[in-house]
Structure 1
Amino acid sequence: MKAIPSSIALCMALCSSLLLSSCQSSDATPAALNASNPQKTPSVMTPDWGIAATLTGMGYPPVAMGDKTFYKEWVGKPLIPKDTYDVGTRYQPNPEMFSQLDLDVVIDNAFYKHLQPMYGDLPIHSIELTSPNQMAKWEDFIEPTLELGRSINQPQAAQMYLDKSKEQITQAGQTFHKRYPHIKKMAVVQFADTNNLRMFSYNSLFQPALDTMGLELTAFADGNEWGFMPIMLGDLAQLDDDTCLVVVEPIGDLLKLELEDSLVWQRLGYSFRENSKSAGKSRCLTVLPATWNNSGVASMNVLADRLMNATFVGNTDL
């Protein structure tokens, strides 16, 4: 057998090396590529509004999310970019639309566990942006926010977001106290109809947000896993005279009119009519744009900003 000339052997070795490296590159999975480049910000899909809001607040909005259209009505801010895809309802996204997306990771929480088989081989991070305690505090939301930052390879962005948010909420509280120095206590509710309400309790994010602002949340009992308790309209009679009622939208004009005609509402002493003759004699009240209770620090930012700019009617010299 004749020996292969050294020049030909060298050429064959180089070609073999190039072919091998080419095959290795084409077979690499997204997870492997991310592992080799840990600084890469992955393309994220989340079915959850709270995670979408927090990622957007950090400056790294998701590529796709659930119920983007209704997010505007129930969460509002921070604004989701126009190029973020809407994959359908949060609880049951469109599988065909989902399959067409180029994603690196899905970030959800326990509420969406039933969707996980749809994600195939995609990595999944489950993060709860809620407090596990009966009395929520700011510290409860630090680690979940940092975990969210780590899941997108942006831990510093998450820390900066926490620091900036704490500062903004504190400043919003200072501004609020200058506008309404006599208002100290608030009860936060949301109407289902003229007789049924949700009252947000101490395990909701309203507690740490108001506490950071230097305000006090009033509630009648511990909240459920979503941070609220159901009450009846007449239950509001239990509120002290020095407690302002904060009504969170959505609340339609028709419902307001029905409440104004309600004898119970009248006996409670509230009125939505800012310019009515009895407005100054009625109890302290304001209506806030929709503020989502399950968005962690993102919702606290929104709540503080809206309270800072809110107009309270009725007796504010408590």
Structure 2
Amino acid sequence: MLVLTSSLTHIKKALVAISCCLLSTAYGEIRITDSDGEKTFSEHPTRIATLNWELTENAIELGVTPIAVADIKGYKEWVARPVLPDASDSIGDRAEPNLTKLAQLKPDVILIGAAVKSLQSRLEKIAPVVFFDTYQKDHNNAQAADETFLALAKLLGKEEIATQKLDQRTAVFAKLKAQLDAKYPEGLPKVASMRFASTTSVYVYGKNSMPEYALAALGIDNALSIDNSQWGVTQKKIRDLREVNDNVLLYFQPFYEEEKLNSSPLWQAMPFVQQGKVAPVAATWTYGGAMSLQYLAEAITTALLGIANNP
């Protein structure tokens, strides 16, 4: 009887150990939802490859240095913030990454956007792929950017950092709005925002664009009514900017033809130009991640304060 009791005790202990092990394994699973659906990882990946600037931004914001980034030169020119660490390797164009070099870098996970969705099956032979299609016409892009940020934070084990960052962003919005209210005591101006395609064509930001969401966070209305779209941007002729009238126009850098633009009679005839209500905005990615909204608001505020200081 003693032997049987002892054996049962050992069996019970073994079963408990197995159960604990199984529970531990299940508990250790990391489940996230990307644009393909639910995906499961056994541990937090550390070697991250990013083939999309939005996702590159997000990884850096979460304190993770991507081992591989698509189009580093372009990122530094057009995105600028957050600053890309020197340790990241370039793997070619965002639409045509160098898959051979990517494989050599041995990533734990590859983060992609819609531009390389067609390459997903090939990328999955290198490492697990997480796909985020953040920008869509039928949803709020700013909200979707936050959801992407939080999902990536869960994958990387950086949820606390993500929450802190989003709280920080809210506080920054309030601080910037207070600065603008002080400089514009009679009320904040309406603002149109855009990028130059050339000296005769522009991309204007409207509904569902990150610049418009940043303006809204500052309590500012868009000076132009542009229909909702996937990216929130519409191409127009430069003459169409007359609709801005005597409101404010801000244009995002980089733009390398300002000298030619300033010599254009059409441009000089615009009411906002004649009234000094136009200014460049420091390079900030207008199709970026959650924290790009803060950088947009900061850059827009700097431009508007400059206009207020030079009536």
TM-score by length of 1: 0.77
Cα separation, partners in 2 of 1:93 and 1:138, compared to 1, 3 Å: closer
Within 5 A, what are the aligned runs for 1:139-288? 139-181=143-185, 182-241=187-246, 243-252=247-256, 255-271=257-273, 282-288=275-281
Cα offset for 1:37?
A: 6.2
> 2:297 is matched by which residue type in structure 1?
A
Give the conservation status (yes or no) of the 8 Å contact 1:169–1:301.
yes
> 2:192 is matched by which residue type in structure 1?
A
Greater mean deviation of Cα atoms: 72-81 or 142-151: 142-151
Cα separation, partners in 2 of 1:41 and 1:88, compared to 1, 3 Å: same
Give the conservation status (yes or no) of the 8 Å contact 2:134–2:145.
yes
Cα offset for 1:90?
A: 0.9
- Unpaired runs of 5+ residues, structure 1, are 1-30, 272-280
Cα offset for 1:129?
A: 3.4
The separation in 2 between residues aligned to 1:163 and 1:269, in whole angstroms, is 39
SS of the counterpart of 2:86? Answer: coil
Overall identity of the aligned pairs, in %? 24
Cα separation, partners in 2 of 1:190 and 1:174, compared to 1, 3 Å: same
The separation in 1 between residues aligned to 2:156 and 2:131, in whole angstroms, is 13
Q: After superposition, give the CA deviation of every residue in 1:236-267 in whole Å (9 maximum; x if it has no partner).
A: 111242x2100111212xx2222222221122
TM-score by length of 2: 0.78
Cα separation, partners in 2 of 1:36 and 1:79, compared to 1, 3 Å: closer
Cα separation, partners in 2 of 1:164 and 1:302, compared to 1, 3 Å: same
Give the conservation status (yes or no) of the 8 Å contact 1:194–1:259.
yes
Aligned counterpart for 1:292 among listed residues 277, 285, 288: 285
Cα offset for 1:138?
A: 4.7
The equivalent residue for 1:53 is: 57
Cα offset for 1:41?
A: 4.4
Q: After superposition, give the CA deviation of every residue in 1:203-223 in whole Å (9 maximum; x if it has no partner).
A: 111122111112222333215
The separation in 2 between residues aligned to 1:161 and 1:127, in whole angstroms, is 20
Aligned residues: CA RMSD: 2.8
The equivalent residue for 1:67 is: 71
Cα offset for 1:89?
A: 0.9
The equivalent residue for 2:11 is: none
The separation in 2 between residues aligned to 1:36 and 1:282, in whole angstroms, is 57
> 1:212 is matched by which residue type in structure 2?
A
Give the conservation status (yes or no) of the 8 Å contact 1:129–1:294.
no
The separation in 2 between residues aligned to 1:308 and 1:314, in whole angstroms, is 10
Within 5 A, what are the aligned runs for 1:71-90? 71-90=75-94
The equivalent residue for 1:308 is: 301
The separation in 1 between residues aligned to 2:119 and 2:179, in whole angstroms, is 43
The equivalent residue for 1:103 is: 107
The separation in 2 between residues aligned to 1:315 and 1:72, in whole angstroms, is 29
Cα separation, partners in 2 of 1:59 and 1:36, compared to 1, 3 Å: closer
SS of the counterpart of 2:127? Answer: coil
The equivalent residue for 1:6 is: none
Cα separation, partners in 2 of 1:133 and 1:33, compared to 1, 3 Å: closer
Q: After superposition, give the CA deviation of every residue in 1:170-197 in whole Å (9 maximum; x if it has no partner).
A: 3222223323444331100111111100
Cα separation, partners in 2 of 1:145 and 1:153, compared to 1, 3 Å: same
- Unpaired runs of 5+ residues, structure 2, are 1-27, 32-39
The separation in 2 between residues aligned to 1:33 and 1:63, in whole angstroms, is 21
> 2:119 is matched by which residue type in structure 1?
L
Specify the structure having the higher radius of gyration (Cα). 1
The equivalent residue for 2:13 is: none
Q: After superposition, give the CA deviation of every residue in 1:261-288 in whole Å (9 maximum; x if it has no partner).
A: 22211221344xxxxxxxxx52411101
> 2:288 is matched by which residue type in structure 1?
S
The equivalent residue for 1:276 is: none
